[in-house]
Amino acid sequence: MTPTETKKNKNEVLEALRIGLCKLIYEKLNGDIRIAEGTLHVDFIPTDCLPKSNDLNKSTSLSPTDLVTYFDTGVCGWRTFYVDHLQHLHIMVRGN
């Protein structure tokens, strides 16, 4: 995958996460498969877990080009994964 394709795919993933709550399946660096429910939509992130700047677009765009940062609602914490390790992404619930 070229850097341009990675960036396009990352942008699509970030857009889906901003729309609402998503089901994610990806391979972790240790080879384990992670199934998670995650988001970048403020309706699904507890207020005390929001980035200090309250700007999710800024905080997620600062990560390396192939790394996606999201809020994992199952563990109530921020997680990252490499976009090329993503196996499945599905928007389950759309935010307001």
Break the chain into its structural domains and give their ranges. Answer: 3-94
What is the mean pLDDT, run by run of 10 residues, along the chain of 96 residues? 58 94 96 97 93 63 77 95 94 92
For residue 1, the model assigns a pLDDT of 46
Residue 67: which of 25, 16, 6 has the closest Cα?
6
3-state SS, 14-68, equals HHHHHHEEEEEEEECCCCCEEEEEEECCHHHCCHHHCCCCCCHHHHHHCCCCCEE
pTM of the model: 0.82
d(CA 57, CA 3): 20
* Residue that has been written with the tokens 């970048």 in this structure: 40
Residue 35: which of 87, 93, 94, 92 has the closest Cα?
87
